[in-house]
Amino acid sequence: MKVSQYIITIITLALVMPFGNAYDPSPLQDFCVAVNNLNNGVFVNGKFCKDPKQAKAEDFFYSGLNMAGNTDNKVKSNVTTVNVDQIPGLNTMGISLVRIDYAPYGQNPPHTHPRGTEILVLIEGTLYVGFVSSNQDNNRLFTKILHPGDVFVFPIGMIHFQVNVGKTPAVAFAGLSSQNAGVITIADTVFGSNPPINPEVLAQAFQLDVNVVKDLEAKFKN
């Protein structure tokens, strides 16, 4: 990547810092079930902290975002995540980062981050991006065509997507306002749950023939 591209990425991080100042909202994972017996308690909301005196530079470091991800898959995209699992020093900081690579006409399919707002900057290529607001806002669609240097925000919890509409690969970086924002890919979650959701339930919800739902569940089966 060129120096100018790194500068844009740094600006992106600076833009998400106001989110980090407030720290993460609760919870920091999908769920944290309470226990009465402390002997059975092995998790905390987030991560355990080491003695600050034992912290080292490696706890705050990650290398590899200059490398393109493998987009040889069904959606033709790859998300490289750098969150608290990759950088332990992010624990309690309320911030994380991803690199997203898109093959020509690849997409980051409709998904949501239950614990974080996302701010994305496009480095290379052309993306069609958007999010859909909640039922309360009548499910309005907000979209933009992004070019290198453009920035777009996906509010916390909103279903959103990115599609490479160009004939060349695209690269974007995004900051998220959580050390572990989580991701729920809509199609994978609805049609690929374990165990599967009753096809008749989904057939009624999506107004589809039950056999179509069964085919979809077979396709997305984990």
Does residue 217 have a known ligand-binding role?
A: no
Does residue 118 have a known ligand-binding role?
A: yes
Does residue 180 have a known ligand-binding role?
A: no
Residue the block writes with tokens 């490398």: 67
Contacts of 35 (CB under 8 A, 6+ apart): 41
Rounded CA-CA distance 119/75 in Å is 21
First-last CA distance in the chain? 35
Rounded CA-CA distance 196/183 in Å is 19
Three-state DSSP at 39 gives helix
Does residue 135 have a known ligand-binding role?
A: no
Whether residue 210 contacts residue 199, with contact meaning beta carbons closer than 8 Å, is answered with yes
Contacts of 57 (CB under 8 A, 6+ apart): none
Three-state DSSP at 27 gives coil
Does residue 147 have a known ligand-binding role?
A: no
Return left, alpha or beta for 220; rule: phi > 0 is left, psi -120 to 50 is alpha, else beta: alpha
Q: Which segments are annotated as binding site?
A: 108, 111, 113, 118, 160
Annotated binding-site members for oxalate: 108, 113, 118
Which residues define the annotated binding site for Mn(2+)?
111, 113, 118, 160
